[in-house]
Amino acid sequence: MVGQLLLRTFWKEPWPAILLPAFENRAAATDGFTIQQPLLNVFFADHTQTTLSVDQFLAPFPRSHRPHIMRLQFSGAADNQESVQYRRSRWVHRRLRTLFSSQPPTHLQVTWQTLVYDVDNLTQPPQVVPTDTVSFVF
């Protein structure tokens, strides 16, 4: 059990392991408390567009998985090997065709923005800074 805890502390969380979530201090970073938030925009052939929530986009996954899958698969940090990117793009296309069966989608844009909170007054609205954009063109 101790080995599992050390493995998580210094490398990556193993599974199965007798561990509960760490919930590390999010405000301990030098740049204060920030949240990386994705915004999804779907564009259609008729030049219209619509926003899509992460919950709608990743509905096949358990709710607990969705923010993690967005970060792992649909951010700049995702595996960008060409073959993986190709298969990922095909999956996104299929997913959007399921969600928007009446209009063919032409591309999905995932805009990542950083919400910067004032650590001295966390109830204040955060400052919003765009950080990254990932596009899937079909």
Partner 1 sequence: MNAPSLSPVNHWIFQAFPSTAENLAVCRILYAMFVLTMRATNSYGFAASLPSFFFLPPPGPMQLVPGVPGASFFTLLHILIIVGAVLLLFGYQTRWVSILLTLLFLTGYGYVFSLGKINHNILPTLLPLVMAFSNWGSAYSLDARLHPSRVRNPETWPLAMMALMTGFAMFSAGLPKLLTGWLAFDSLAVQTHQIYFFVLGNRQELLAPFFMQLQAPVFWEMLDWATVVFEMGFLVAVFYPRAFRLFCGIAVLFHLAVVLMFNITFSNHLIVYALFVDWQRALPKSLFRLLEKGSAFVARHKWATLCIVLGLSAGIIQFGSPRRLFDALFPTGQIRASHLLLHFGSAVFVLWLGGRAVWQRFRG
Interacting residues toward partner 1 by CB under 8 A: 1, 4-5, 7-9, 11-28, 33, 35-37, 53-55, 60-69, 72-73, 79, 84, 87-88, 90-91, 115, 117, 119, 121-123
CB nearer to partner 1: pick between 103 and 113: 113
Cα–Cα distances (Å) from 67 to 5, 70, 103, in that order, read 24, 5, 27
Q: At closest approach, how far in Å is the CB of 107 from partner 1?
A: 19
CB nearer to partner 1: pick between 33 and 44: 33
Cα–Cα distance between 11 and 5 in angstroms, integer? Answer: 10
Cα–Cα distances (Å) from 94 to 66, 98, 132, in that order, read 18, 6, 24
Q: At closest approach, how far in Å is the CB of 76 from partner 1?
A: 16
CB nearer to partner 1: pick between 48 and 62: 62
CB nearer to partner 1: pick between 17 and 45: 17
Q: At closest approach, how far in Å is the CB of 129 from partner 1?
A: 15
Q: At closest approach, how far in Å is the CB of 104 from partner 1?
A: 21
List Cβ neighbours of 2 (8 Å cut-off, separation of 6 or more): none
Token duo for residue 77: 């940090």
Cα–Cα distance between 138 and 136 in angstroms, integer? Answer: 7
